[in-house]
């Protein structure tokens, strides 16, 4: 029997996990991380705001802890993320009065930030989510931009995305560079993600892959939607990663509150639905092993989940014990 998920999937793709500092400091949690996973993402520590809270003032403490853990254990990291409208110091794109910077100033800030972090971790980071969540959510009406109206977009339009990839590539030509987004299997949005990446490819931008965040739930997306999205993306890139996988038991992201308010139970029916959605998903992923090379869970256990423990989204419970869905995903033969 395979030791951990990474062994069960060794002929298919890497199995990754997003970690916080506690996960790599506590001996029991470390045991789970090293047994199950062979790719690591820093959940927050490598984002723009934590690493450069003020212009030119870097804080590498948290990111270094995770990078050093990976170096010590011979695990390569997915870097997350270089440019995002969230968790970013506003100095990146506006002055103290709140006016947007000129394109030149913004690009200088962006280049300095991206190249500092890519250079610092190039020995341990094998790929980067260069730009995160730049595509607009549905619905987008005809004639409206397909991209999110972020401050960065307001300054430079789509070109800021191209520049981010160019700066990252210049700093580490060996790193695989990804565009990463959510609602990644929703048909209209996946078409817009494809459109963006196709325009980048046509313009000669150094992009290697698409990251599907994969924040799913037990009711959706359908496996046909996931299959269709993977097929579409694989016509334009050679690498697809699932970058932030979780399958919550509530359709609504905030729905976990229902349980925090006193009903701290999960029904057998919900457990079964979740197991089924995980099993069906991994079946589709295995089918596409030629283009999928890493599947990363967003957090180690339900206790760590950004969605809260009562969304019950991961394969390990709040005591770091494997859930029934874990066994079903692992023993697929
Ligand atoms: C989340 C983290 O998990 C939280 O701890 C933090 O408070 C907010 O960000 N999409 C992403 C991730 O690309 O970086 C987000 O991570 C989850 C959604």
Task: Spell out the domain ranges in the chain.
Answer: 5-330
Peptide bond into 175 cis (omega under 30): no
What is the ipTM score, two decimals? 0.99
Helices (H), 135-210: 151-156, 159-171, 187-202
Nearest CA residue ID for atom 16, ligand 1: 43
Ligand 1: nearest atom to the Cα of 306: 3
Q: Give the separation between CA 105 and CA 103, rounded to whole angstroms.
A: 6
Pairing of strands 125-132, 39-42: unpaired
Ligand 1: nearest atom to the Cα of 20: 5
Q: Is there a catalytic annotation at residue 133? A: yes
Q: Give the list of residues 6+ apart from residue 303 with CB closer than 8 angstroms, or none.
A: 309, 317, 318, 319, 320
CB atoms inside a 10 Å sphere around CB 255: 16
**DSSP character for 102?**
P
Q: Which one from 36, 96, 244, 270 is the annotated catalytic residue?
A: 244
Q: Which one from 52, 133, 159, 166 is the annotated catalytic residue?
A: 133
Distance 51 CA to ligand 1 centre (A): 15
Q: Is there a catalytic annotation at residue 244? A: yes
Ligand 1 pocket: which of 47, 84, 297, 298 to mutate (most atoms <8 Å of CB)?
298
Ligand 1: nearest atom to the Cα of 215: 18
Q: Which candidate, 298, 311, 296, places its Cα nearest to that of 254?
A: 311
Distance 333 CA to ligand 1 centre (A): 33
Distance 306 CA to ligand 1 centre (A): 7
pTM of the model: 0.96
- pLDDT tens, per residue, the chain with 333 residues: 679 999 999 999 999 999 999 999 999 999 999 999 999 999 999 999 999 999 999 999 999 999 999 999 999 999 999 999 999 999 999 999 999 999 999 999 999 999 999 999 999 999 999 999 999 998 888 888 899 999 999 999 999 999 999 999 999 999 999 999 999 999 999 999 999 999 999 999 999 999 999 999 999 999 999 999 999 999 999 999 999 999 998 877 755 555 444 446 788 999 999 999 999 999 999 999 999 999 999 999 999 999 887 889 999 999 999 999 999 999 997
Ligand 1 pocket: which of 87, 303, 306 to mutate (most atoms <8 Å of CB)?
306
Contact 184, 138 (CB under 8 A): no
3-state secondary structure of 307: coil
Q: Give the separation between CA 161 and CA 205, rounded to whole angstroms.
A: 9
Res 234: pLDDT:
98
Give the domain 5-330 fold: TIM Barrel (3.20.20)
Contact 164, 115 (CB under 8 A): no
Q: Give the separation between CA 274 and CA 280, rounded to whole angstroms.
A: 10
Ligand 1 pocket list (CB less than 6 A): 43-44, 132, 213, 244, 306
Torsion of CA 240, 208, 298, 138, to 10 degrees: -80
């Amino acid at each position: 029997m395979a030791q951990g998920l990474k062994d069960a999937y060794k002929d298919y793709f890497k199995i990754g996990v997003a970690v916080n500092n506690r996960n790599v400091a506590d001996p029991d949690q470390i045991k789970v991380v090293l047994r199950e996973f062979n790719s690591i993402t820093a959940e927050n520590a490598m984002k723009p705001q934590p690493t450069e809270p003020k212009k030119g003032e870097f804080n590498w403490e948290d990111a270094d802890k995770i990078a050093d853990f990976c170096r010590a254990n011979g695990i390569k990291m997915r870097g997350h993320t270089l440019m995002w409208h969230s968790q970013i110091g506003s100095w990146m794109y506006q002055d103290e009065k709140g006016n947007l910077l000129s394109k030149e100033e913004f690009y200088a800030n962006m280049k300095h930030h991206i190249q500092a972090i890519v250079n610092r971790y190039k020995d341990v980071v094998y790929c980067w989510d260069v730009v995160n969540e730049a595509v607009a959510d549905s619905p987008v009406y005809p004639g409206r931009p397909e991209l999110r109206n972020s401050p960065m977009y307001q300054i430079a339009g789509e070109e800021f995305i191209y520049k981010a990839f160019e700066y990252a590539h210049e700093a580490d030509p060996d790193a695989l560079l990804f565009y990463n987004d959510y609602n990644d299997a929703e048909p209209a949005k996946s078409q817009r993600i494809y459109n963006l990446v196709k325009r980048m490819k046509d313009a000669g931008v150094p992009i290697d892959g698409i990251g599907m965040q994969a924040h799913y739930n037990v009711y959706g997306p359908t496996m046909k939607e996931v299959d269709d999205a993977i097929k579409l993306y694989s016509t334009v890139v050679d690498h697809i990663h699932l970058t932030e996988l979780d399958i919550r038991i509530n359709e609504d992201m905030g729905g976990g509150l229902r349980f925090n308010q006193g009903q701290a139970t999960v029904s057998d029916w919900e457990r079964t639905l979740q197991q089924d959605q995980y099993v069906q998903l991994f079946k589709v992923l295995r089918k596409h092993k030629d283009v999928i090379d890493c599947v990363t869970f967003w957090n180690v256990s339900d206790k760590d989940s950004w969605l809260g423990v009562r969304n019950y989204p991961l394969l390990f419970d709040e005591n770091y014990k494997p859930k029934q869905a874990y066994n079903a995903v692992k023993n697929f033969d």
